[in-house]
Structure 1
Amino acid sequence: MIKASAWSDTLLDTSTVDMAIVFDFGRVVFDWQPEALLRRVLPQRAASLQAAAHWVDQIFQSYQGDWGDFDSGLVEVPALVERIARRTGLDQAEVQAVVDAAPASLTPLPGTVALMERLKAAGRPLYFLSNMPLPFAEHLERTHHFMAWFDGGVFSSRAKVNKPATAIFDHALKQFGLPAEQILFIDDHGPNVEAAKALGWQALQFVGDAGLERELVERGLIV
């Protein structure tokens, strides 16, 4: 465990000194509420919670199908809009409005950002591994100062493959230049966590910043 009186003289256990922390983004670092997004952008379509949930399923397809291809960088916005409109019966203008509004709806989660700041102050290398369409990734890179805290990261749209596929984890290891056992991966989606563990990564399922803080303290990664 860490024993220290201040950040500047923190002493790290040799078992954790080289541990890198890898964050998922959606619902871990950034809030993502697609039902609220649709109720705001398509109020006539998503007039109730039930209707909003229906259109979330139709548009995002559990982040597979058309949206999965968008996440993987295999389809660009015009083709995505046309595909979703044709499949769902929505107007192309409606689909375009959702796609255009989505990046700004990814808002930082203050509790996680505060934990990242503490990890950075403790000398922990920070990385990210996120399923994210390219226009959304570029928006986050332009907009948020804490993106500079990361030592590196992988977006699915640039890797051309999504979590939980083995290939994206292998790609991330090469990008980070780290062995699997030197990584603690934090993701809100259980299948992604299990996929990482199967490949030798340490991994936690994110359910909130309070639980994550407890885990990080217990592991001696922050004080």
Structure 2
Amino acid sequence: MTGTVLFDLFGVIARHQSTEGKNRLTRTAGVAGPAFWDAYWELRPPYDRGDVNGPGYWRQVADAIGACFDDRRITDLVEADIASWSAVDDTMVALVEELAATGRHMGLLSNIPEELASHYEAHHAWLKCFPVRAFSCRMGHAKPEREAYEWCQHALRTEPGRILFVDDRADNVRAAEALGMQGHLFTTPGRLRQALIQWV
């Protein structure tokens, strides 16, 4: 029986925010510095879990930093945020497509807000390689919460020990391992490929 691979999205297949993307966000907000990014990240988990939508999230950010974003600016911030997370690693996309072509059972687990999830579904056909797409905004749980991994295990219909979870964050990998999954801390496509050769 071939093992199942459960992929993280950002930092594995998709790239983290670029400096250019971050700069566009701060320019759009009209606010720069640690206060902006502290609010951006501290308020992100409920947005990722779908507890609040994009406009609601950015209003919370504005309140946290003492700013006032009108509807036009909020729309621009949502667009800039999506753009900042939109770059992918073509080598990893090719690997995913290769695995799908060989019949490898795969899933995707991502902490991602609805606006960004919808963008990826509309612009990245390779998402169809994943019959199970566990987006935090739609299942109501985010890594490293145990429930996020349990949701995936049930959706994949596979025993935890037959799942290899691939993520670039050690805390997320440890959480998967605590549930009984195997873990791979992603560093490069080449090292992942070697790990997959051994994962049968």
TM-score between the two structures when normalised by the length of structure 1: 0.80
Contact (CA 8 Å) 2:13, 2:89: kept in 1 or not? yes
Residue 87 (structure 2) aligns with: 107
Instruction: Give the stretch that moved more between structures: 207-216 or 180-189.
Output: 207-216
- Within the alignment, does 1:28 sit opposite 2:12 as a pair? yes
CA distance in 1, matches of 2:35, 2:189: 29
Contact persistence 2:35–2:65 (CA under 8 A): no
Partner of 1:181: 161
Aligned to 1:148: 128
Q: Distance in 2 between matches of 1:45 and 1:210?
A: 39
8 Å CA contact retained: 1:103, 1:140: no
Q: Name the count of aligned residue pairs.
A: 195
User: Could you say what the CA RMSD is over the residues aligned between the two structures, in angstroms?
Assistant: 1.9
1:95 and 1:85 mapped to 2: Cα distance?
10
Contact 1:34 1:56 in 2 (8 A): no
Map of 1:97 onto structure 2:
76
Q: Identity of aligned pairs, percent?
A: 28
Note the C-alpha offset of 1:122.
2.2
Quick one: distance in 2 between partners of 1:88 and 1:37? 20
TM-score, structure 2 normalization: 0.88
Match of 1:200 in 2: 180
CA contact (8 A) 2:21 2:83 kept: no
Aligned counterparts of 1:110 and 1:59: Cα–Cα separation in 2: 28
For the pair shown, the structure with the greater C-alpha radius of gyration is 1
Gaps of 5+ in 2: none
Gapped regions of structure 1 (runs ≥ 5) = 1-16
2:100 to 120, 125, 132: 120
Which of 199-208 and 82-91 deviates more? Answer: 82-91
Question: Residue 154 of structure 2: SS of its match in structure 1?
Answer: helix
Corresponding residue of 1:87: 64
